[in-house]
Amino acid sequence: MRGMDIPASGNEHAVRPEREDADSLNPEHFIRPAWPLPARVGACVTTRSGGLSQGRYGLAGGGVGGLNLGDHCGDESLAVRCNRERLVRYLPSPPLWLQQVHGSAVVDMDTPRASTAGVLVGDAAVTRVPGRVLAVLSADCLPVLLVDEQARVVGIAHAGWRGLAAGVLENTVGAMRAALGVDAPIVAWLGPAIGPEAFEVGPEVFEAFCAHQPEAACAFRPAGRAGKWMADLYSLARQRLAAVGVDRVGGGALCTVGDPARFYSYRRDGVTGRLASLIWLAP
C-alpha cells in the first residue's frame, strides 16, 4: 500500500442537497474523506449549509442557513454558538478548538497541559484517545487530516502558507509518531482550500518555500502581474509530507474560492465565515 496515492475525487462523498433547510444540519452537508482506512476513523469537513448564520456568514446569497463555526470573524455570537451545538450532535464529543495563529505548533491533546489550559494555542493537534475530536477552522487555508495506517493516532493541521512553510505538517507527523513510539506509516487527506488557479502570491511566498526545498519551484507559475506567482498549495503540502515519508495522500481537489455555494472563502469575500475540519477515533 505504501507509495500509492489515494484517489482525489472532486466531491469526496459530498452530496449537494436539492433544498437548503435553514432549520437543520444533516449528514448531506458534510464532506467526508475518501480513504481506505478502518471504520473506527471518523472524519469530516463542514460546508456553509445547515446553520443559523446569515448575511456574509449565511448561504451564498446571504440568506439565513449558514453554518459559520468561527467565533472570531464578526458573526453573531448566538448564531455561532447554535451552529456549534448543531455540529456536536453528529460527533462523539465537542470538538477541541484551537486558537490558530498561522504557526507550526502542535498541541498533544492527551497531555495534562491540554486538559487544563483554558485556551489552546496552535495550528495542529494529535490524539490517541477514542472519542476525542480534533478540529481546525479555515476559509482558504489548507486543512490536513492525518491518521496512521492502523488507526491508533490521528492528527489535524491548519496549513496556510505561513504555517506550511514553517513546518506545521512535519511537526504534526513527528508528534503522531512520537505518540506511537515508532516510525509508523501515515495517511493524509487534503481538505478544501484555495486552489492553484486562485492563489496569487508575492515573491516572499515563493522564496520562503524554495529556500527550504528548491523543488518547490514547480508548485509556482508566473501570474499575470509582474512579480506575482500562482501557488499550488496542495502540491506544496504533498512535497512537505513526502519529505517525512507520507506518500499516501488524497484529496486536494476542492477549491474554496471557486465554489461559493459550499465554501466560505476569505480571498473571495473578505468578511466571511469559517469551515471546520474534524477527525477522531471512534469510542
Rounded-to-integer distance, Cα 202 and Cα 76, Å: 34
137 in any annotated domain: yes
214 in any annotated domain: no
Task: Provide the 3-class DSSP secondary structure of residue 114.
Answer: helix
User: Which domain does 83 fall in, by range?
Assistant: 27-194+248-268+275-281
235 in any annotated domain: no
- 184 pLDDT exceeds 60? yes
112 in any annotated domain: yes
CATH number at residue 70: 3.60.140.10
pLDDT at residue number 23: 52
Q: pLDDT, tens digit, for every residue of 109-152?
A: 999 888 777 789 999 999 999 999 999 999 999 999 999 999 99
User: What is the overall mean pLDDT for the chain?
Assistant: 92
On whether the pTM is more than 0.85, the answer is yes
User: What single-letter amino acid sits at 281?
Assistant: L
202 in any annotated domain: no
Confidence of residue 38 (pLDDT cuts 50, 70, 90): confident
Nearest of 257, 275, 98 to residue 172 by alpha carbon: 98
Total structural domains within the chain = 1
pLDDT at residue number 12: 54
183 in any annotated domain: yes
